[in-house]
Amino acid sequence: MKKIEIYDTLLRDGAQAEDISFTLEDKLLITEKLSELGIHFIEGGWPGSNPKDEDYFKKVKKLKLGSSHVVAFGATRHPKKKASEDPQLGALIAAETPVVTIFGKSWCLHVQEALRISNEENRALIHDSVSHLKRHVSQVFYDAEHFFDGYKSDPEYALATIRAAHEAGADRIVLCDTNGGSLPNEIGKILDEVMGQMTAQFGIHCHNDSGVAVANSLVALQKGVVQVQGTMNGYGERCGNANLTTLMANIKLKLGMDCISDTQLTRLREVSRFVDERVNRFHATHAPYVGDSAFAHKGGVHVSAIRKNPQTYEHISPEKVGNRQRVLVSELSGQGNILYKAKEFGLKIDDKDPAVKEIVRRLKELESMGFEYEGAEASFEILMKKALKRYKSHFRLISFNVSDEVLPDGQSRSEATLKIEVNGEIEHTVS
């Protein structure tokens, strides 16, 4: 089985997403969690660019990360400096990571407009930078920034830039769709042409501006790249990066390629949610594989079918990615939904029991009145127990009152009074 390298750039590329900022603690905790998931390469940041990343590369050395490698990220040397004298390359070496990734320009537009140097000078600084780093670091990966746009504009020059990196000793040549504007057919065609002319070990790095970063990455893997770059949950600048959460599941379960172990894959949802918690984002309900809705069923026909065989409406077993099957109840529900929930709540009920139809009728009636049970499972359990004559009331509401008042300083205050009977005793409280 072909082994694919997983490279996560969340702590660097993901940090460029709007409204995302990592503390040093976040970066260290996420690094540990990614290593537990089996991520092979964890890009930690850009040494020398800010104090936080400087501290990160000092402290991450103390972590036990198994087979995962922390990667320092940077750029090719400054056009006016020798590689040996470039402070940024020096900072990469000083980070003492086993792997360093640098990016360089593949598109003439950037060479001329951003760097304002000649095409040959750009090739020289790519070669010099990789060659210098290879004398000090075990592995050097070269990210060919804007490669696909550059190739569309000038194929010969784009190829010349990655040849410069390859000849200098780069261990991986990572082709980047930096603007995220390429479609899968374009990625496939260009890779066929490039890989037909070079024997390097290639990687892929896609952005999601056209909504196809995962699809582009999968096409690249099918064409023979050995490394896929992206971020957990797809966080990244603009529209995000290729979502590794989706990619890893697709690589193992759809393409039949190896990347992380089966046991590690069962932690996919757990790690996905952990990342969301650290970046203070709500977990994406409809995310493929790991979202709450990924294996949720609502329609009565669907629920009836999955009770007989889950494969009827589930493309994989949710447990493989650490998720679970869920059945929702609503006005769309049928008897299958009720029987499923009864089993979930530990209520024994025969599928021919008249109470099943009564529960369906009552559910639809209440939903038509504005009630919603989809997110209120405890309330639905009570509804079921009442219909089955198994409900026991633990308290009796006597009265309640809620009042609002405006204080002299203009502030408002609400007050609630509640009187209930619990086990024969009256409780009266105010808050």
Q: Across the strands, what pairs with 415?
A: 403
Residue 370 and residue 355: Cα distance in Å, rounded?
Answer: 22
CA distances from 297 to 62, 103, 346, 419 (A): 45, 45, 19, 40
Residue 110 and residue 145: Cα distance in Å, rounded?
Answer: 10
pLDDT digits (tens, 9 = 90+) for 250-263: 999 999 999 999 99
pLDDT digits (tens, 9 = 90+) for 269-292: 999 999 999 999 999 999 999 999
* Two structure tokens written together for 236: 């990244």
* Whether residues 232 and 343 fall in one domain: no
Instruction: Give the number of C-alpha atoms closer than 13 A to the C-alpha of residue 33, restricted to the C-beta side.
Output: 21
Is the per-residue pLDDT at 297 higher than 70? yes
* Whether residues 107 and 213 fall in one domain: yes
pLDDT band of 330, cuts 50, 70, 90: low
Instruction: Specify the pLDDT at position 66.
Output: 95
* Amino acid at the residue 426: I
Instruction: Specify the pLDDT at position 8.
Output: 99
Q: For residue 231, give the CATH number of its domain.
A: 3.20.20.70
Is the per-residue pLDDT at 337 higher than 70? yes
Measured over the CA atoms of residue 368, residue 369, residue 372 and residue 376, the dihedral's sign is negative
Tokens 């939903």, located at residue? 367
* Whether residues 403 and 373 fall in one domain: no
Instruction: Specify the pLDDT at position 208.
Output: 98
Q: What is the mean pLDDT of residues 150-167?
A: 97
Least confident of 182-191, 287-296, 336-345, 407-416: 336-345
Residues across the chain: 431
pLDDT digits (tens, 9 = 90+) for 8-64: 999 999 999 999 999 999 999 999 999 999 999 999 999 988 999 999 999 999 999
* Whether residues 45 and 96 fall in one domain: yes
Is residue 372, in this structure, part of any structural domain at all?
yes
Contacts of 266 (CB under 8 A, 6+ apart): 319, 320, 321, 322
Is residue 213, in this structure, part of any structural domain at all?
yes
* Whether residues 165 and 238 fall in one domain: yes
* Whether residues 309 and 240 fall in one domain: no
Whether 400 and 418 have beta carbons less than 8 Å apart is answered as yes
* Whether residues 334 and 200 fall in one domain: no
* Whether residues 201 and 349 fall in one domain: no
What is the CA 152 to chain-centroid distance, rounded? 30
* Whether residues 71 and 150 fall in one domain: yes
For the ranges 106-110, 166-170, 407-411, the maximum mean pLDDT occurs at: 166-170
Least confident of 112-116, 276-280, 353-357: 353-357
Q: For residue 309, give the CATH number of its domain.
A: 1.10.238
Is the per-residue pLDDT at 365 higher than 90? no
Number of domains in the chain: 3
Question: What's the per-residue H, E or C state across the chain?
Answer: CCECEEEECCCCCHHHCCCCCCCHHHHHHHHHHHHHHCCCEEEEECCCCCHHHHHHHHHHHHCCCCCCEEEEEEECCCCCCCHHHCHHHHHHHHCCCCEEEEEEECCHHHHHHHHCCCHHHHHHHHHHHHHHHHCCCCEEEEEEECHHHHHHHCHHHHHHHHHHHHHCCCCEEEEEECCCCCCHHHHHHHHHHHHCCCCCCEEEEEECCCCCHHHHHHHHHHHCCCEEEEEHHHCCCCCCECEHHHHHHHHHHCCCCECCCHHHHCCHHHHHHHHHHHCCCCCCCCCCCCCCCCCEECCHHHHHHHHHCHHHCCCCCHHHHCCCCEECCCCCCCHHHHHHHHHHCCCCCCCCCHHHHHHHHHHHHHHHCCCCCCCCHHHHHHHHHHHCCCCCCCCEEEEEEEEEEECCCCCEEEEEEEEEEECCEEEEEEC
Q: What is the mean pLDDT of residues 199-212?
A: 98
Q: In the chain, pLDDT over 90 holds for what percent of residues?
A: 72
pLDDT band of 396, cuts 50, 70, 90: confident
* Whether residues 203 and 309 fall in one domain: no
pLDDT band of 358, cuts 50, 70, 90: confident
Is residue 179, in this structure, part of any structural domain at all?
yes
Average pLDDT, the chain: 92
Q: What is the mean pLDDT of residues 160-188?
A: 98
pLDDT digits (tens, 9 = 90+) for 123-140: 999 999 999 999 999 999
Q: 396-406 and 412-422: which strand pairing? A: antiparallel
Contacts of 318 (CB under 8 A, 6+ apart): 294, 295, 324, 325
Residue 288 and residue 295: Cα distance in Å, rounded?
Answer: 9
* Whether residues 228 and 305 fall in one domain: no
Is residue 279, in this structure, part of any structural domain at all?
no
Residue 167 and residue 158: Cα distance in Å, rounded?
Answer: 15
For the ranges 76-80, 305-309, 385-389, the maximum mean pLDDT occurs at: 76-80
CA distances from 144 to 87, 159, 176, 290, 384 (A): 21, 10, 6, 31, 60
Is residue 288, in this structure, part of any structural domain at all?
no
- Give me the helix-helix angle, 335-344 and 377-387, nearest 10°: 100
In degrees, to the nearest 5, what angle opens at C-alpha 113 toward C-alphas 109 and 119? 60
Instruction: Specify the pLDDT at position 310.
Output: 92
Domain that holds residue 310: 296-387
More confident residue, 276 or 360: 276
